[in-house]
Amino acid sequence: MAAYEAGTMSQADPKPRLRLALWLPLILFAALFALFVHGLTNPADTNVASAFVGNPLPQFDLPPAAADRPGLATRAFQTGKPKLLNVFASWCVPCAAEAPQLAALAQAGVEVDGVAIHDQRADLTRFLAANGNPYAAIGRDDQRAVQLAIGSSGVPETYVIDGRGVIRYQHIGDIRPEDVPKLLARVKDAGKGAGS
Amino acid sequence: MKIAHLAALLLIVSAPVLAQEHVPPAPYAYRQLDNPEQEARAKALMVTLRCVMCQSQSIADSDAPIAGDMRSEVRTRIAAGEDPEHIRQWLIARYGDYVTYAPQVKPITWPLFAAPVVILALAALLLRGRFGRPRQTNDEGSA
Amino acid sequence: MIAEVGLALLWLAAALAALQLVVGALALRPEGRALAGLVRPVAVMQGLLVMGAFAALVMLFVTTDLSVKLVVDNSHSAKPLIFKIAGTWGNHEGSMLLWVTIMAVAGAFVALIERRLDEATLTATLAGQAFISLGFYVFLLIASNPFARLAQPADEGQGLNPLLQDIGLAFHPPTLYVGYVGLSIAFSFAIGALVTRNVGPAFARAMRPWVLGAWIFLTLGITAGSYWAYYTLGWGGWWFWDPVENASLMPWLAATALLHSVSVLQSRDALRAWTVMLGVVAFSMSMVGTFLVRSGILTSVHAFAVDPQRGAFILALLAIDIGGALALFTLRAGTVTEGKRFGLVSREAALVFNNVMLSGILGIVLIGTLYPLLTEAYGVKVSVGAPYFNPAAGMFAFPMFVVMAVGPLLRWRQDRLSGARSGRRLWPLAVCLALVLAVLVGVELTAHGIALLPALGLSVAPGLLLASLLPLRGRNLRRTPLPVWGMVVAHAGIAVALFGMASESAFSVERLAALSIGEAREVGPWRVSLDGMMPVAGPNWTALEANVTTRYAGGTPVQLHPRAETFTNPPGTRNESALETRWNGQLYVVLGEQAEDGRWQMRFWWKPFVPLIWLGGALVGLGGALALLGRVMSDIRRLVAKDKIAWRRMRQGR
């Protein structure tokens, strides 16, 4: 024991520099703790938002997905009137849930165009018959070409497109009743922006 | 040549296991490119792209339908001669940096790239003066 | 009844942990010395009680007691017995109970057998252990009672996630837990030593077997987990740099560094503060890992038992335990000097260098794993994956491999690499270096398009393997101590695993194919044909099984049976890949879905030398086991010798 103590003493190091280094772990840990607390109290939004909002729609020309609606092409969004672009599918449950809200938006005078992802005509016809058909046009996107091109990561998603074909806003997930006025306001804003 | 021949035999393939969709996936979701060099390039890119729907998987490791469509998109573009990094940028423009497992050098990721250097500097700082010739007398005395 | 007994035992164990803490703290003061004798028996008793509580929970799962909430939520009467037992820890509450159980049992073990450490440090260690345990007891009893009953017994349980119903995964979490908890013992030793300011070789000697034991389990746990991910995720990947995987890798990196620094402390009385620091860091990484896995703040493909509330609780424990320990370190480490000095060329220096490199890799993994969380705080989503981790970790790993080859051949304290006699030691190293260069040139000349890292790995691995055997040169192999064998085997294991990783990355052949029955394909040197499709049924699943005939280079055919399984309780699917292992690699076959034209979507991979990854991992674990065995045996021998001396003295009437 005594020898050990003597050993320690004889090793006296220049202290000040070492002292600073000793605080380092505690400081790093405090930073880590702060990060964890922040991460816990602000759970990350698991949705991946489109980074493409603000850009003009890419060029596309989709064939019709349903018998009684035309297909969808980029030029349909360059008419000077803002529209909604709804990315959906007949196999998606939340898409059925948002159908009344889409109908309400269409009722309010907003044109809603659809892009049906990985869908078959028979399934889609059944879906539209059961849930109503608020769409003015439905394009058929079997390979998610348009979906990928606008940075959409799932169904349903709804985009506000202004009259010049520029994406103005993205709504992720199904549209709840309380979202309808918000979307209407967004469409109105988009109309103003394009008009000026 | 044999490989190209074999790959040419492949036709439209089935839906992935976890699909809730009943439509065949995009053509190149489960089909490799005929040109092995292009396929290798596509594969190298795909393992570094993150599936935007899944928990934490690259599009090369995922059965999610959208991952299949992203693979098809990548393979189609590579087959058309597009540069892999250009495809990555195209996807980043749409999904943000989330989509790439290879972090892009920009102000928000500077600390990430500085990390190895900072760690080395810290190590050097801590070790400075640690090494020295053992002081014969002192050490032997206390041992 | 069993549930109530279990809960009662758990409360009693918690009470004893509190007692252990209070008595231990009091015994450290001069006026409380008399209490010191109480600490060991209390620790033993606590271990026994919590073992009883855990046994009660296992019983509940085995008998599928459907009045217990945890059983209903995670088990099912039709599950095979082995998965009923595994179901005990395949959930949050049960795994936390397993955690305290292992911790208390390990504490009891320390109390029973540790005789080399001075009594004060041991008392402080046991008090520290009780303090950590107490946090987990509170967590269990207040926020995650595993024994909670349902008001109304359920008719049937909800079953276990099909992915978790796998023999490899059944034992993967407990293996990792043993590792984590073993590190908690090392942590407690570090605390004890800081409290009594007694950091020296005796402390290192006491701590070393625990670090070694924990490290063996971590090694095996990670290896098994990687193999499990490889064959169940169905895409042939074996490491994804996923947050949950990283969470298990970080404690291993810290433990590996600790293992080496503790050996320096034991044999040379150097690196005192650094070793204590690593003891704290290693367990911190276990807690951080547990927190990351449980809180779900990072998305993972292996997400399991995620709940933010529990995350908050674990974070609180993390802050108290680790924050406290680091504060203690900051206050005390100034008085714990680094100990003996050593030359730039010495075994210590090599070990220190590799400690720093391991810590560097640890830093990279930690930063890369948490970086998305950091940017998220600024509203930006980024992903960090292999393109960052591989080169950044490689920057530290490859210099480490070089030093790892040389280090074991150096002398302690100060070595000279010039002079007549060093030539004899150095020429084998020159052979290794030549081997590395030869392979590198060979790889570059014959194989095209291999990336830098796999090429480096392929060339460094054989040289490293040879170099890791060099410490045996000139020794009588039968009289070589087990710990030396352990080091050699473990280092060779690293080289073997490195070769497997590099080969997998450089030479894998992937073939995706839609096959009709009777069709064949070529996959690298293999010819595979789909011969038939059969429905099969397991205990709680049904599946479609493909009959695939495979032939390696025209050799004898081997039948493989990949399956697509469908589970009913709870509903889910699982792809059971089929593997054919040869000495030079593995064929990996996955059955996908049927296309509309009736063909079957299949995925094939030929992965040369890929099993070496896990073989290497197993070798590393074996090396650890040999070293541990050697140390335990020499300890026993010493104890027996001491007893004999004591007995002789007694007989001589003294």
Judge: B55–C564 Cβ closer than 8 Å, yes or no: no
Specify the higher pLDDT residue, B64 or B104: B104
Chain B CB contacts of C371 under 8 Å are 103, 109, 111-112
Inter-chain residue contact B66 with A153, CB threshold 8 Å: yes
The CA-to-CA distance between both ends of chain B, in Å, stands at: 72
Q: Are B66 and A144 in contact (CB under 8 A)?
A: yes
CA of B138 vs chain A CAs: smallest distance (Å)? 7
| Span C59-69, average pLDDT | 89
Nearest to B23 among A24, A49, A118 (CB): A118
Q: Where are the domains of chain A?
A: 2-41, 61-195
Do residues C281 and C254 lie in contact, with contact meaning Cβ atoms separated by under 8 Å? yes
Q: Which residue of A has its CA nearest to C382?
A: A48
Give C373→chain A minimum CA distance, Å: 7
pLDDT, mean of residues C179-190: 91
Q: C582 to chain B, minimum CA–CA distance in Å?
A: 23
CA atoms of C42 and C54, how far apart (whole Å): 18
Is the peptide bond prior to A58 cis by the omega test (within 30 degrees of 0)?
no
Q: Which residues of B touch A56 (CB under 8 A)?
A: none
Quote the mean pLDDT of chain C.
Answer: 88
CA distance C433 to C437: 6
pLDDT digits over C326-343, tens only? 999 988 877 776 677 777
Say how many C-beta atoms besides its own lie within 10 A of residue C411's C-beta.
14
**B69/A contact by beta carbon, under 8 A:** yes
Contact residues, chain A, for C333 at CB < 8 Å: 22
- Look at residue B136 in the predicted model and tell me its pLDDT: 43
Subunits that touch chain C (at least 3 Cβ pairs < 8 angstroms)?
Answer: A, B
Q: Backbone phi, then psi, for A168, in 5-degree steps?
A: -105, -25
Chain A closest CA to C339's CA: distance in Å? 6
Chain A: residue whose CA lies nearest to C329: A22
Q: How far is C205 from chain B (nearest CA, A)?
A: 16
Q: Tell which residue, A156, A146, A116, has the closest CA to residue B22.
A: A116
Residue in C235, C341, C388 nearest the CB of B135: C341
Run of H or E including A45: none
In terms of Cα–Cα distance, which of C231, C229, C230, C227 is closest to C219?
C227
- CA–CA separation, A87 vs A139, rounded Å? 10
CB contact under 8 A, C385 and B50: yes
Q: Do C343 and B98 touch (CB under 8 A)?
A: no
Residue of chain B minimizing CA distance to C448: B37
Q: Answer yes or no: is pLDDT of C618 > 70.
A: yes
DSSP H or E segment with residue C537: strand C526-537
| Angle of the A15-41 helix axis to the B110-127 helix axis, nearest 10 | 150
* CATH fold for the domain made of A61-195: Glutaredoxin (3.40.30)
Cα atoms in the 13 Å half-sphere on the side-chain side of A105:
35
Of A175-179, B84-88, C72-76, least confident by mean pLDDT is C72-76
**Chain C residues with CB-CB distance to A39 below 8 A:** 295, 297, 373, 376-377
Q: Answer whether A31 touches B (CB < 8 Å).
A: no
Mutation site for B-interface testing, chosen from C512, C528, C606, C607 by largest number of B Cβ within 10 Å: C512
Asked if B98's CB is within 8 angstroms of C383's CB, the reply is: yes
- Between C437 and B133, the higher pLDDT residue: C437
Q: Which tokens hold the place of C300?
A: 């993972």
A143 and B94: CB-CB below 8 Å?
no
Please tell me which residue of chain C has the smallest CA distance to A47. Answer: C381
Q: Which residues of C touch A22 (CB under 8 A)?
A: 273, 329-330, 333-334
Residue C305: per-residue pLDDT: 58
Q: Flag if C319 and A35 touch (Cβ within 8 Å).
A: no
- Which chain B residues contact residue A151 at CB under 8 A? 93-96
The Cα–Cα gap between C483 and C488 comes to: 9
In angstroms, the separation between the Cα of residue A107 and the nearest Cα of chain B is 30
CA atoms within 13 A on the CB side of C513: 27
pLDDT tens digits for range C562-610: 998 888 777 777 788 999 999 999 999 999 888 878 889 899 999 999 9
Q: Does B8 touch chain A (CB under 8 A)?
A: no
Lowest-confidence region among A83-87, C296-300, C471-475, C618-622: C296-300
Interface of C with B in 146-205 (CB under 8 A): none
Nearest CA in chain C to B2: C522
Residues of A in contact with B98 (CB under 8 A): 48
Question: For residue range A43-100, what is the model confidence (pLDDT) as tens digits?
Answer: 877 788 899 999 999 999 999 998 889 999 999 999 989 999 999 999 888 999 999 9
Token pair for C160: 């276990």
Partner residue opposite A22 with nearest CB, options C288, C318, C334: C334
For position C516, what pLDDT does the model report?
92
Token digits of residue C594: 């049927």
- pLDDT digit string, tens, across residues C194-210: 888 888 888 898 899 99
pLDDT in tens, B16-27: 333 345 667 788
Query: Which of C381, C382, C596 to mutate: most A Cβ within 10 Å?
Result: C381
Check B119 against C234: CB less than 8 A apart.
no
Q: Which CATH superfamily is domain B2-103 in?
A: Cytochrome C biogenesis protein (1.10.8.640)
Contact B20, A91 (CB under 8 A): yes
pLDDT value at position C144? 84
C373, A35: Cβ pair inside 8 Å? yes
Out of B93-97, C425-429, C553-557, pick the least confident.
C425-429
Which chain C residues are within 8 Å of B111, Cβ to Cβ? 367, 371
Q: What is the DSSP pairing of strand A111-117 with strand C520-523? A: unpaired
Residues from chain A that touch C300, judged by Cβ atoms under 8 A, are none
CA-based torsion, C621, C626, C629, C630: positive or negative: negative
Q: What is the pLDDT of residue B131?
A: 59
How many percent of chain C have pLDDT more than 70? 97
For A169, the enclosing helix (H) or strand (E) is: strand A167-172
Task: Collect all residues of chain C within an 8 Å Cβ-Cβ radius of residue A48.
Answer: 381
Give the pLDDT of residue A14. 44
Whether C312 sits inside 8 A of A18 (CB atoms) is no
Q: Do C364 and B116 touch (CB under 8 A)?
A: yes
Distance from CA of B139 to the nearest CA of A (A): 8
pLDDT at A19: 67
Q: How large a percentage of chain C has pLDDT more than 90?
A: 49
Which run of H or E residues covers position B65? helix B65-79
Is residue C621 a contact partner of residue B43, using CB atoms and an 8 Å limit? no
What whole-number distance in Å separates Cα of residue B102 and Cα of residue C386?
7
Q: Which of B23, B100, B106 to mutate to test the interface with A (most CBs of A within 10 A)?
A: B23
Residues 6+ apart with CB under 8 A from A6: B141, B142
pLDDT exceeds 50 at position A41: yes
What's the pLDDT tens digit per position in C541-571? Answer: 888 999 999 999 988 999 999 998 888 777 7
Q: What is the pLDDT of residue C306?
A: 65
B25 chain-A contacts, CB cut-off 8 A: 118
Closest-CA residue of C relative to A13 is: C337
Q: pLDDT (tens digit, 9 = 90+) per residue, C208-237?
A: 999 999 999 999 999 999 998 898 888 889
Beta bridge partners of C591: C602
pLDDT digits (tens, 9 = 90+) for C369-408: 999 999 988 889 999 999 999 999 999 999 999 999 988 8
Token pair listed for C64: 């599928």
Dihedral angle, C-alpha C423, C429, C430, C435, nearest 10 °? 160
Q: How far apart are CA B56 and CA B64, in angstroms?
A: 12
For residue range C284-326, what is the model confidence (pLDDT) as tens digits? Answer: 999 999 898 888 888 776 656 567 778 888 899 999 999 999 9
Interchain pair C334, A26: CB under 8 A: no
B136 touches A: beta carbon within 8 Å: no
Tens of pLDDT, residue by residue over C159-175, are 777 766 777 777 888 89
Query: What percent of chain B is predicted at pLDDT more than 70?
Result: 73
- CB contacts under 8 A, B 9-38 vs C, are 10-19, 24, 30-32
